[in-house]
Each structure stands twice: as structure tokens, then as C-alpha cells.
Amino acid sequence: MSAMTSSSSPAPMTVAGLFAGIGGLELGLERAGLRTEYLCELWGPARAVLSERFPGVPLDLDVREVKRLPRADVVTAGFPCTDLSQAGRTAGIAGEHSGLVRELFRLLRAGRRSLPTWVVIENVRNMTVLGSGSAMAHVVQGLEDLGYRWAYRVVDSRFSGVPQRRQRVLFVASRTEDPRGALFADEAGEPPAEELADDAFGFYWTEGLRGLGWARDAVPTLKGGSSLGIPSAPGIWVPAAEQGRRVVSPRLEEAEALQGFPPGWTGPVEGSARAAGTRWKLVGNAVTVGVAQWLGGRLAGPGEPLATGRELAPGERWPLAAWGAKGRRFAAEASMWPLRLPYAHLSSLVDLPEAPALSLRATGGFYQRLCRGGLKVAPPEFRDDIAGHLASHGLGVMGHSSSADGPGHLASHGLGVMGRRALERDEAAAVACLPRAAGTGGH
């Protein structure tokens, strides 16, 4: 059976989703033929989406107040990554938010008479290294204490066909089945670079000092934005576009598609306070739908495990894939690409000619960090085009271009007094490394 097709069983497997977010895991599992029968989610905007997109499915509010789970074949738990993510607090598995995984174990213990066949846990790749892998050890121990065999695999969402380099840990555990048959029955390997287009490159404009999140023919991992609800869409460099259009970002509906959702999936929160920032956060925190669909196919029809490996020594670093039970742990030889589904090139998914240009404030701050960091990840033309993007809007050197003088010009770009001052600080720091080719006066 194909890994992306559902079981032919007349009775579909049932799903109970904890920490459900906007239902990326559940939507993908449904596309594989499973049926969602229970959801639990605390955040109001996410609940609004779930209520609209999964009508009639019981939706509990707080996992801490749930006494027992309903009978289900699969229990999913994409527990909060806030304390584990590189973009978050990195407080670790004992943090206020990520520590809620303990509620999953509590509910499994409470329902020992009707345990699910499968438990699925999803979280950020950083959990394999944070605190010397303590988060991984905590999850593994929690599963083993309940008598589960477990396996995990770090996967890249690009294998499902979306141009987003998003690497996540997928845990699968069972007391009755071999979880290796769900995670290690498919192996495609990363495609060669020549299969990727070279007309668009994704990056984080919020970075620049230590990294860029540089991605060819893809965007880096979509993020949830700032704690103030300010969206932080990734940047896209389009080297063949006209100057002023070479640095753009995707629209919200395109970000939904980059996660495998139908455009408008988070629309139920439109009209609420800070709706744009809220929708970006919802999308950035979600599970890529195609990843869940692949997994659902394998939960319904496990295959023969292809991965072999060796036993891990005590204290050894967690690899990209592993399995184990009863205190023994084995590394698996598995890539982040179980399949290579038809790929949607970045320039075909994002309407680049109509995409919003990266704002001047964002570009100025990014260019400052890019100069200070001296990163060599991107080609030199990239830095030149960032400078050119500023110059094309008359902001090559603050105060030396008549088109950029005064608050009126800045206000025309949506910048008030506070935004003007922030931009001036960013620009003043960036001016020293602007190249002469951009007509800025340079070094």
C-alpha cells in the first residue's frame, strides 16, 4: 500500500487530538482516511478555527482539566514548543508551556483500560539537542513507563511537496504495534540540488548576525511572529526581478499553502484584534498537513522497516532517527526525506510579481545585522540587492537623498514618528557598508 493512501478498512481509525492548534495533524490524518472524534485546545483563536473546520467534533478547553480521553485509535499531541524552540525561551522540557507534555502521560495512565493503538507526538528539532537532549529523554522515559515501544524521526516538510524547509521531530509509540513500521518503512533521501530551482531563495530578515535560514527554492521554517503579535513573514530574494522587487515576502494565504492548508484556513479569526498577527502565529505554530498525511497512511498500513542501526551508548547524543523500548535505544539510518512527493517550486506557490516588497524598516535593520555579522551563506549579489532595495526607495543614505528627507516620505511608507526613529537608527548603522554600486556613497 502506498504511504499516502488510506486503509481500505470500512471502519476508519479514530483520532483524539491534544494541543490541536489549527488542526494540521488532524487534517493530514483525515486526508489519509482517519476520522477526528475529539479535540482539545486552549488558545481562543485556534479554537475558533477548529470549531469552523471540524464542525461537530467535541472541543475541550484545557488539557489540565480533562479527566479521561475518549476511546480512540490514535492520540496526537503537538505539545507547545515555546520552551524548546530556538526562537522561543529554550527553558526546556520543565518549562511552563512545553512541560504540559506531562498531561499526555497523565491521560494515558488514566485510560489504561482503553489505551490507543498509536500515540503521535510532534515538536521542534531543537528538542534533540536542548539541555543535552533532556527533552527527548523525558519523552522517551514517559512512554516507556507506560509500556510503549517508541520510534522517532526528524523529517523535513519539503518531502511532502511544499517549499518550506521545516524540520520537526515525529514520535510514534505503541504497546501493540512496531512503531518502526510507521516511521521507517519509507526512505527517499534528500534530492540533488539540481532538482531545485534557482530563481527564488528564502531567508529570515529577522536574523543576519549568526544565521540567515538560507533556503534555495524554499522558505525557512515559518514562525509565529513576535510576542506582541507582529507578523514576521520570511523574506524571499528574487535575483532576476527588477530592483525594488527583488526582496519580497509571501502573503498570509500563501503561508497557509506553504503549510499544506487550503488558503483561508485561518479565516475564522479575521475581524478580531490584531487578526493578521494572530493568523501568522496560528500558521507558524502548525504541523505541515502533508507530513501528517504521510504518517496517517503508515499508521493505517505500516510497512516493513527499512532502517537498520546500532545501539546507542548511555549519554550519547540523540541522532536524527531512533527507536527503542525498555531502556534500550537504537539509532536508525533514516534521512529527513521518507518520500519525494511532487514539489511545488517557491516561484509557483508564491505570486512573486505581486508579493509585498519587504518593508524599509525591516530591510534597514536586516542590512545592518548582515553587515555586522559578515555571513558568507548567501552569494555576494544578495547583499548588493538588499542595499539596492533600500536605494531604490530613496533610502540609501539617510539625510543625503532628497526623496528621503523629512517625515512625509517615511509616513508614505506607513511609518509614524516612532517607526521613523527606528528606521533612522537602523539606516545610520547600515550606511557604512552600503556598496557604491547602489549609488549610496559607500566606503
The Cβ of residue 413 has, within 10 Å, a number of other Cβ atoms equal to 15
Q: Which of 40, 81, 371, 433 is catalytic?
A: 81
- CA dihedral sign, ordered 338, 221, 208, 254: positive
Active-site residue flag, 40: no
Give the residue from 16, 5, 31 showing the smallest Cα distance to 261. Answer: 31
Q: With H, G, I as helix, E, B as strand and everything else as coil, classify residue 174.
A: strand
The cell numbers describing 407, all together, are 517625515
The cell numbers describing 281, all together, are 502565529
Give the residue from 24, 55, 16 showing the smallest Cα distance to 283. Answer: 24
Give the residue from 101, 381, 408 showing the smallest Cα distance to 93. Answer: 101
Cα–Cα distances in angstroms (integers) from residue 336 to residues 114, 117, 370, 422, in the given order: 33, 25, 29, 40
Of all helices (H) and strands (E), which one includes residue 236?
strand 235-237
What is the distance between the alpha carbons of residues 394 and 384, in angstroms, rounded to a whole number?
15
- Half-sphere exposure in the Cβ direction for 232 (13 Å, CA): 19
What b/e string do you get for 190-212 counting C-beta neighbours within 10 Å, with b at 16 or more? eeeeeebbebbbbbbbbbbeeeb
The cell numbers describing 245, all together, are 522587487
What is the distance between the alpha carbons of residues 185 and 139, in angstroms, rounded to a whole number?
23
User: Which residues face 120 on adjacent strands?
Assistant: 76, 172
User: Which residues face 168 on adjacent strands?
Assistant: 124, 155
What is the distance between the alpha carbons of residues 391 and 71, in angstroms, rounded to a whole number?
61
- Name, in order, each residue with C-beta under 8 angstroms of 248's C-beta and a sequence gap of 6 or more: 235, 236, 238, 241, 352, 355, 356, 357, 358
Cα–Cα distances in angstroms (integers) from residue 116 to residues 13, 75, 109, 283, 422, in the given order: 10, 6, 11, 28, 53
Residues tagged active-site = 81
